[in-house]
Each structure stands twice: as C-alpha cells, then as structure tokens.
Amino acid sequence: MKRIIIYGASSGIGKALACMYAEQGDKVAVAARRIDNLKEMQRQFPHNIFPFQVDVTDNSRDQFNQMVEALQGADLVVYCSGMGKQNVEFDMDIEYRTIDVNVTGFTSVVAAVVEYGSKAGHHVQFATISSIASTKGLGVSASYSATKMYQVRYLESMRQLASIKGWDMGFTVIKPGFIATDFIKDRKYPMTMTLDYAAKRIKRAIDKRKNSAVIDWKWAIVVGFWKMIPNWLWYKLKISRG
C-alpha cells in the first residue's frame, strides 16, 4: 500500500489517477480548491480517499505537512494542478495567473516535498503533469509553454541535486498531448486522447519511476519532429498548444 498525495485532484487527470490508486488499495490525499468534488470521491472510496481543500499558491508547506500527517507519511506526490489558456491578445492577467500556479505554486510544493523526502528514510517520488507544449515556445500560449518547460528543467535540476545530496528521491515529468478533459472542452484538437486511455499510461509511467514520458507514442513522434524544426521556420508556424 502506497501513501499518495495528488494536487489538482478535483477533476481531469488528477481525479482519474486518485481513483485508480484508491481502487488498488492505496491511501490517497486529494488536494484541490473545489472541496465538494473531493468529498464526492471520498464517498466512493471512504477508506482510501482523504480530501483537503488546498490552494497551491498559499501556504504549500503547511498544507503538505497536514496531508503527510493524515497519511502517516508519503511515498508519491503528483502535481496535477495547472493553469493555461490561449492568449493571443496577450492579456497579462492570464499570464500572471498561469505563472502563479505553474511556477510559484509548483515550486513551493516541490520545496515542501524535498524538505520531507530528503529526511524521510524511504524513497519519495515527485511527479508533475507538464505538457508537450514544453517542447518549444508557443506564441498563442506563451506563459503556458514557458511554465511547462520550467517544470521540466526544474525537475532535471532536482534529480541532479538529489544525486549530489544522496537523497532517496525520484522526479518524474509527464508530457501529455491533448486529453479530453475540461481543460480543452471548448475546442477541438487533433489526436485528442480519452481521459481513461491517457490516465492509464500516465500512471504506468509514474509507477515505473520514469524520469520523463511523453503520452502517448503518437505524440512522442510529433515531439520528435517539433525538435527538428529550425527556429526560423518555427517562428512562422501557426500552432496551438498541448
């Protein structure tokens, strides 16, 4: 039985992962602002789901410690909280809110997990749901693609720091393509995966403690092509985010 904390668990990927882990008998602290959604999950899994109303931009260390106490430890922490909108008009409110959740909130949660994991005496894994949008800068979603790349580079740095310090910790970056969640409900995108299909593959990558995984194989091919596009051509393309 694992003790798991999932941020952003009120819907989408976070909720799907929480239900899968609870179903297999793990203890899961689910964290989000929408507490009613979390309590509904608890009714479904009364012995395995522990709901916490959490805003990742506020007192992350105290909130994290409360969840660790409720679970009597933590083996896996998954950061599914995320913010991102297409912002062709360059609305700075969208930019700042995205940075607040995807960078400031993310970093404060990582700090809380590292503080715990570096002294835990057992393996602690941290996983984040980044995006294929981290591959290159997207003009229509500048803050989204930039903050998702921040998460990728930050966890690369944490892996190296863990090695230097001798911490028994692992860091996993998940980079999915389009998934049919509320996040993209107002638009149609190519190669959109069902939530169940994507969540199973995300969970598999996390359970295997992979450093990084693109979900799924079709999107891995797309990402490979994106990386080969020269910058002068990339700047001329019209492309939406993932």
pLDDT in tens, 88-144: 788 888 889 999 999 999 999 999 999 999 999 999 999 999 999 999 888 888 899
**Angle, CA 85 vertex, CA 145 and CA 32 arms, to 5°:** 95
Q: Is residue 110 part of a domain?
A: yes
Domain count, the chain: 1
Element of type H or E holding 78: strand 76-79
Residue 50: give the domain boundaries: 3-234
Q: Is residue 22 part of a domain?
A: yes
Instruction: Summarize the confidence of residues 190-218 as an average pLDDT.
Output: 94
With bands split at pLDDT 50, 70 and 90, how would you rate the model's confidence at 82? confident
pLDDT in the model for residue 61:
86
For residue 3, the one-letter residue type is R
> How much of the chain is in helix, strand and coil states, percent to nearest 5?
50, 15, 35
pTM above 0.75, yes or no: yes
Residue 242 has what pLDDT?
42
Express each pLDDT in 210-226 by its tens digit. Answer: 999 999 999 999 999 99
Residue % of the chain over a pLDDT of 70:
94
pLDDT grade for 153, boundaries at 50, 70 and 90: very high
DSSP state of 103: I
Phi, psi (rounded to 5 degrees) for 168? -90, 75
pLDDT of residue 70: 95
CA distances from 100 to 16, 96, 97 (A): 24, 6, 5
pLDDT of residue 183: 59
Does 241 reside within a domain? no
Whether 42 shows a pLDDT value over 60: the answer reads yes
For the chain, what is the largest distance between any 2 Cα atoms, rounded to a whole number of angstroms?
Answer: 55
Any domain includes 194: yes
The whole-number pLDDT of residue 173 equals 97
SS3 100: helix
* CATH number for the domain that contains residue 226: 3.40.50.720
pLDDT of residue 241: 46
pLDDT tops 80 at residue 87: no
Mean pLDDT of the chain: 91
Given a cut of 80, is residue 238 above it in pLDDT? no
Look up residue 144 and give its two tokens.
């989204």
